[in-house]
Amino acid sequence: MGNLLKKEEITSLRLTSKLFKGFADYSRLFIFEVLMNGEKTVSEIVEATGISQSAISNHLKCLRECELVNDRHEGKYVYYSVSDDRVKEIIKLAKEIIKEASEERYRCIKY
Amino acid sequence: MGNLLKKEEITSLRLTSKLFKGFADYSRLFIFEVLMNGEKTVSEIVEATGISQSAISNHLKCLRECELVNDRHEGKYVYYSVSDDRVKEIIKLAKEIIKEASEERYRCIKY
DNA sequence: TTGACATATCATTATTTGTTGATATAATAA
DNA sequence: TTATTATATCAACAAATAATGATATGTCAA
């Protein structure tokens, strides 16, 4: 076979695909959208998105564990924010591509 | 409720999450890895990745429909290439983030 | 203390997604 | 033509994933 990857490169690809899964869902992308202009509490996110509290909390858990967002506890509130400017940059680039694309391009059913 | 989105913004978020799904899988990311240094035929991709021909072909169909890759037919061969430099940039940024992250960060089971 | 609010957790269910194996199509060579 | 190589398609199955509803935990105020 050709240039099959080394173990560490396989790991890196697996982690990178996992990172992208963070962005590959409507609800989570909506969360990022809400967080783009600064930190928000969970209830603010719930209110801004209209998504259920448990769904938001489940998503935030994942995003937090993958360190795509940071959390800051203050009294009974938890403030979430985007962890890294490169995260914002990735989303910005993707939205740029979409802006130029025709809607039909994204009919892809499988995957 | 708060700043719920307009119909076109919802569409945009849906398309963007769909775009990210293109990157959110080990096999597809491996395909991009192989295409990073220029166009390759399907069989070259199959050989370089060790992934089955039908799996590769299924993935390429999706990536082509979402225009993350371009195809060019030449005789019995089909050459695929990354469609846009911003696609490369997105992957590059994600890999940078991963490079700095500890492996445990990506234990996220759900999502 | 009690009650109200904010957030997290978790099992269940329904849906989505990835791979496989078989087969189809298309181009070329013998 | 027939055989061979390259690629695409598609149904079926298995695995992963997202939302829900119920419940738990933690903080604060009365």
Maximum Cα interatomic distance, chain A, rounded to a whole number of Å: 57
Give yes or no for residue B110 having a pLDDT over 70: no
- Which residues make Cβ contacts (< 8 Å) with residue A101, sequence separation at least 6? B15, B67
What mean pLDDT comes out for the span B74-101? 95
Residues 61-90 of B with CB under 7 A from strand D: 61, 71, 76-78
What mean pLDDT comes out for the span B89-97? 96
Give the rounded percent of residues in chain A with a pLDDT score beyond 90: 79
Please name the helix (run of DSSP H) or strand (run of DSSP E) that holds residue B55, with its range, or none: helix B53-65
What mean pLDDT comes out for the span A65-90? 97
Which amino acid belongs to residue A103?
Answer: E
Quick check: A94 and B90 CB within 8 A?
yes
Estimate in Å the CA A48 to C1' D17 gap, whole number.
24
What mean pLDDT comes out for the span A55-72? 96
Q: Which nucleotides of C are covered by protein (CB under 7 A)?
A: 5-11, 17-23, 26-28
CATH number assigned to the domain covering A7-106: 1.10.10.10
Report which of residues B110 and A70 the model is more confident about: A70
Instruction: Name the token pair of B108.
Output: 């996220």
Give yes or no for residue A38 having a pLDDT over 60: yes
Please tell me the predicted confidence (pLDDT) of residue A107. Answer: 57
Residues 84-103 of A with CB under 7 A from strand C: none
Which amino acid belongs to residue A34?
Answer: V
Q: Where are the domains of chain A?
A: 7-106
What mean pLDDT comes out for the span A86-94? 97
Give yes or no for residue A1 having a pLDDT over 90: no
What mean pLDDT comes out for the span B88-111? 79
Q: Which fold has domain B8-101?
A: Arc Repressor Mutant, subunit A (1.10.10)
pLDDT in tens, B6-64: 888 898 999 999 999 999 999 999 999 999 999 999 999 999 999 999 999 999 999 99
Among A19, A33, A46, the residue to mutate for chain B (most B Cβ within 10 A): A19
